[in-house]
Amino acid sequence: MAEYELISNRDKIGKFLLRDPANKIYLIGDLDPFFFPRTKWFAMSHAHEIEELALLYEGDVAITLLAFPDGDVMNAVELLEHFASQLPQEFYAHLGCGLMKKLKSFSAEEDFGTHLKMLLKEPDKLLVDTEEKIHRLGVEDEQSLLKLYEKHYPGNYFDKRMLETGKYFGYFENKELIGVAGIHVYSPVMKVAALGNIVVAGEQRGKGICRKLVSTLCKDLLKTVDVIGLNVHSENLSAITCYERCGFEVIGEYEEFLLKRLTN
């Protein structure tokens, strides 16, 4: 008989997730002490062994559910239905493909389409040359960064706490920030990182700036982590091409939604 529980044992969760680190980078990274206090973990177990897991991350910007079936998709369905009443009235969700169609307790208020999971498999493709126009960003650069996102990446999910990690790099032209590459997840403890918040000013695109920024960031991250991944919309062909040139490969896909919990 299946057992359902809210779980907070980091070692037990980590043991389950590390069976497939490439596909579970975001979840593994959230075991880091920097992120873990903002997490809730929902588990389905048999004989006290986890068989399915879902994560609810309560960030400053948004609340997001991550559920990627580890095997039988119906296990994930049963897990989410069991805990439906404990989920927020409205939240973002990253779901394994096809999972949403089987859920009865939620409706999709917005469908953000299919996204690809990419993994850095060929780090030798990262650019080697140091770029004088690229500098590490800190909390003092927050306003410049927000201005860039507002103009060239509206709606971008940016948690300003991430600047505290020191894993954001900016590209400057005449002292103006025109490009940035950062992270959504970074855990030197769990040895994983997920790139995010990457953008180049519209008029500056096509000049190789994105590849330079991503290469600089990845080389820096590889000093402290072993696994680097990222998520990208399946229709963002220019970004996918850039990442492929940096040595990333597509390893999976999932769907993003804004969900509303239905009430009886």
Tell me the per-residue pLDDT of 31-52, one tens digit each, with 9 for 90 and over.
999 899 999 999 999 888 899 9
Residue 16: pLDDT above 70?
yes
Residue 129: pLDDT above 80?
no
Eight-state DSSP code of residue 178: E
Average pLDDT over residues 180-191: 94
Average pLDDT over residues 239-243: 96
Longest dimension (CA), the chain: 64
Higher pLDDT, 160 or 4: 4
Residue 1: pLDDT above 90?
no
Average pLDDT over residues 132-152: 93
User: Tokens 């855990």 belong to which residue?
Assistant: 187
- pLDDT at residue 95, rounded to an integer: 97
Average pLDDT over residues 4-28: 94
Q: Single out the residue of 161, 206, 152, 203 nearest to residue 180, CA to CA.
A: 152
Q: CA 137, CA 135: separation in Å to the nearest integer? A: 6
Count of positions (residues) in the chain: 264
- pLDDT at residue 130, rounded to an integer: 62
Q: What are phi and psi of 131, to 5 degrees?
A: -105, 115
Q: What is the overall mean pLDDT for the chain?
A: 93
- pLDDT at residue 157, rounded to an integer: 82
Does the pTM of the predicted model rise above 0.85?
A: yes
- pLDDT at residue 264, rounded to an integer: 59
Q: Which domains does the chain have, with CATH numbers?
A: 3-115+254-261 (3.40.630.30), 122-246 (3.40.630.30)
Q: CA 105, CA 82: separation in Å to the nearest integer? A: 10
Task: Report residue 60's pLDDT band, with 50, 70 and 90 as the boundaries.
Answer: confident
